[in-house]
Amino acid sequence: MAGQVFVLQILVVLLLVVAALVALVVQSRNDADREARNRSVAVAQTFANSPGIVEALHSPDPTAILQPKAQAARVASGVDFIVVLNNDGIRYTHPNPARIGQKFIGTYEPALQGQVVTEEITGTLGPLVQAVVPVYAPDGSVAGMVSAGITLENISTASERQLPVVLGAAAGAVGLATLGTALISRRLRRQTHGLGPEEMTRMYEHHAAVLHAVREGVMIVGGDGRLLLFNDEARRLLDLPPDAEGRPVTELGLEPTPEALLTGNRPVTDEVVLAGERLLAVNVRLTDQDGGPPGCVATLRDSTELLALSGRAEGAQRRLRLLYDAGVTVGSTLDVTRTAEELAQVTVPRFADFVTVDLAEQVVAGEEPPAGDSLGRMRRAAYAGVRNDAPFYPVGTVLDVVPDTPLAGALGSGLAGLEPRLAESQAWREQDPEGAAQALAYGVHSLVRVPLRARGVLLGVVRFWRATGTEAFEPDDLTLAEELVAHAAVCIDNARRYTREHAMAVTLQHSLLPRNLPAQNALEVAHRYLPAQAGVGGDWFDVIPLPGARVALVVGDVVGHGLHAAATMGRLRTAIHNFSTLDLPPDELLGHLDDLVHRIDQDETDTGDSAALAGATCLYAIYDPVSQRCTLASAGHPPPAVVDPDGRVVFPELPTGPPLGLAVLPFETVELELAEGSRLVLYTDGLVEDRERDIDEGLELLRAALTGPPRTPEQTCADVLGRMLPAHPQDDIALLVARTQALAPEQVAEWDVASDPAAVGGIRAAVAERLTAWGLDEAAFVTELILSELVTNAIRYGSGPIRVRLLRDRALICEVSDGSSTSPHLKYAATTDEGGRGLFLVAQFADRWGTRYTATGKVIWTEQPLE
């Protein structure tokens, strides 16, 4: 655009210059003609009136006199020629002497009459103007004529002198036009951001199209409060008059609120105002930001229908959010009551003011619900409300379902029911007339009831209540309630099934664990067993009395959880009891137990059982109160802790073998000497290891818990669990604490026996004497009989050395040892047999008897009760 203006300016300047030049040329020609006439007349008259002209004309040789004068006058006057003529027109003078005497070219006749003649002719010198004047004699007659002429090209007029000025002015005008155009172009480019005419035109067309096609009202208000621009939508929304453009906003008759927003000189974002019957969302942005012009731009959007749609969208979004939160919250635990509480809590107050969850009593207990489509009795499992003074039965209340009521019908059909206006309905009151009256008086006005059904099994019912201050339930709410309850029903049924399985597993586990520890004097024992929260496991412990006043301590852990682990634990515990009757040393016993676990695992693998045993750990220890030695062997189990009487704690180094079922090498034993009053602490890994700490950290915590002054085993168990028990145990914990006791030397008697049958009598006498010292005279006869038979058999069938030992503990223990590994067998002797009846008599008179093998032979022992 600036270029076009520049071209237009150049054209105008050129036209003006051409016009000026034409005018100058015309004026110059006129001026030159007039100047030539005036000068030629003046020079001719001056020369004609000069002195001596008449005399020269009447002289014999006028040329000789006049030629020099004419030449001098011509040069002095600047004309091209001065010619003196006679009355016949013959030249007396001429700048070119060759033309003297020739006839004058031009008109001279009027000069003879006394007139001045001027004319423009083309002579030998080119276009020229010449004048002819008469020369008067003294008598007034014409004595001759003088002609002076000047060519036009030798005329320098004022017009010609003005031509450079005109051209200079034209050049200056062109320069100014160029500079102005450059400045205007620069400013236009800055204001239009470099857009060309086509782009600006297209942008203007697009803006105009958008301005009038957009479904939002657009208004531009100047800094003086006048409406500068508006589109058709703004006119429609605000009902603007036809002449609104250019008028002050305050004179347009707008509503007070829209008018205040348009004239408030402040930004506004999505402010909803009332304009007539419309709700308009108004946005105002000021235009004087960043150096812009004062004023504002306002957009108007009709949100009347959008508000209604957004209300419905918000409602749907709230429902989806409630369903999502319920999906995340309800069923976070496998507890029936807790799941019901989560359903009640997540829906109050977002969906209902009060929620009651009633379940069949069997479901609350984790049992199978009653068969059929009706529940005669339910128990309130959960309740939640916006206030605590509502007239609803508390949790734990037993509710009887009244037949032929809406509640009974919903339970029988499995269909949800809606009571939007409880005050107008009578049937629902029959379930509990008194409670219904109290609820209505309290302000409860609407109800939704949804049966709890999962996998075709009726579990209970959920009822949602709304009270004064909230809207009544609608059919859409019924659909939402069904979705919420459907999810909760599956979670409650899962929790019920888990509770049932967990109860069965716990019952099985408790039945397999020792209920009471056996009576014995070698150890003072205390124990603790804590099942994991996630389910029962395979941890176990045991205390097994052994012959010779010895006691075996066992702690083990089957890998895994659940019924399978508990059942496997029971099998292993039974096997250990059976192996203990053989009085095997710890390493041999673990070897037999490893074979058993391997066979169990192999059998379950062959049958395709997916829950095949993955192994077990075990620690087996035998304590002898006579020698105060403890023999231990471990199959992958954590080491025991030994606390001496002074409270120092050590973890003895054991040759820990692999877990049971994985052994490839024989197990090894370790013997420890334990001072009387020492505490032996056995435990499973659940005590010292969990997700938040490793076993080394756990062992250090256990050391710290055990270190200190002497404590009883019971107090030791309490202190250890109080300090180390995790908040949420992920594994079972078995803890066994045994404080050692020693058998006093006066309670032990030993004799060496020679391999001679005659030595039997001396042994009998010595035993009788010791029994008398112990005050056991009544047991002397039986004891002598037993020892006689056992010593005789050792002398006859065994090998030396032979020893006899009496132990006075809870029972009278007789032991006969020899160097042979041959074990006697009890049998019935035939009537013709001379021997074979002695061992039978031993079995009859002794309470218990048996054989145990040692590294150097065997020991045959018997026990006799002291009471």
Distance CA 725, CA 731 (A): 11
User: Above 50 in pLDDT, residue 313?
Assistant: yes
CB 609 within 8 A of CB 634: no
| Residue 608 pLDDT | 54
- Give the tens place of pLDDT for each residue, 749-799: 999 988 888 888 888 889 898 988 998 888 888 888 888 888 888 888 888
Place of tokens 């731009």: 297
CA–CA separation, 309 vs 321, rounded Å? 18
Per-residue pLDDT band for 677 (boundaries 50, 70, 90) equals very high
- Using CB atoms within 10 Å of the CB of residue 314, give its burial: 0 to 12 exposed, 13 to 18 middle, 19+ buried: exposed
Q: Does the structure show a pLDDT above 50 at 832?
A: no
Q: Which residues contact 257 (CB under 8 A, 6 or more apart)?
A: 273, 274, 275
Q: How confident is the model at residue 833 (pLDDT cuts 50, 70, 90)?
A: very low
Q: What average pLDDT does range 185-201 have in this prediction?
A: 70
pLDDT at position 854: 84
263/750 Cα distance (integer angstroms):
119
The pTM of the whole model exceeds 0.75: no
Q: What is the mean pLDDT of residues 501-528?
A: 80
* Segment 412-459, tens digit of pLDDT: 888 999 999 999 988 999 999 999 999 999 999 999 999 999 888 899
Q: What is the pLDDT of residues 731-742, one digit of tens each?
A: 888 999 999 999
Low-confidence winner among 17-26, 426-435, 796-805, 829-838 (lowest mean pLDDT): 829-838
In this prediction, residue 381 carries a pLDDT of: 92
Asked if the model's pLDDT at residue 820 lies above 80, the reply is: yes
CA distances from 489 to 393, 483, 515, 518, 568 (A): 22, 10, 38, 47, 34
The pLDDT score that the predictor gives to residue 641 is 94
Return the top range by mean pLDDT from 184-198, 503-517, 776-790. Answer: 776-790
Distance CA 389, CA 354 (A): 11
Least trusted range by pLDDT, from 541-545, 700-704, 720-724, 847-851: 847-851
* 243 against 205, higher pLDDT: 243
Residue 743 tokens read as 């058998």
pLDDT, residue 356, reads 95
Report the pLDDT averaged over residues 181-197. 71
The whole-number average pLDDT for the span 232-248 is 87
- Out of 43-52, 406-415, 812-821, 833-842, least confident range: 833-842
Give the lowest-confidence range in 530-534, 698-702, 765-769. 530-534
Q: Tell me the C-alpha distance between 851 and 847, whole Å.
A: 14
Structure tokens at 76: 């002095």
Range 162-174 average pLDDT? 71
Average pLDDT of the residues in 649-657:
89
How many whole angstroms separate alpha carbon 549 and alpha carbon 125?
Answer: 171
- Amino acid 318: pLDDT: 80
Please state which of the ranges 93-107, 144-158, 695-709 shows the lowest mean pLDDT: 144-158
Q: At what angle do helices 475-512 and 304-329 cross, to 10 degrees?
A: 10
Predicted confidence at residue 831, as pLDDT, reads 45
Q: What is the pLDDT of residue 603?
A: 74
Per-residue model confidence (pLDDT) at position 70: 86
Confidence category of residue 837, pLDDT binned at 50, 70, 90: low
In this structure, what are the phi and psi dihedrals at residue 336, rounded to the nearest 5 degrees? -60, -50
Decide: helix, strand or coil at residue 845.
Answer: helix
Mean per-residue pLDDT, 373-387: 87
pLDDT at 543 over 50: yes
**The pLDDT value given to residue 533:** 66
Cβ atoms < 10 Å from Cβ of 727: 7
Q: In this structure, which amino acid lies at residue 283?
A: N
Average model confidence (pLDDT) across the chain: 84
Q: What is the pLDDT of residues 319-333, one digit of tens each?
A: 888 888 888 889 888
| pLDDT recorded at residue 835 | 46
User: Backbone dihedral region of 690: left (phi > 0), alpha (psi from -120 to 50 degrees) or beta?
Assistant: beta
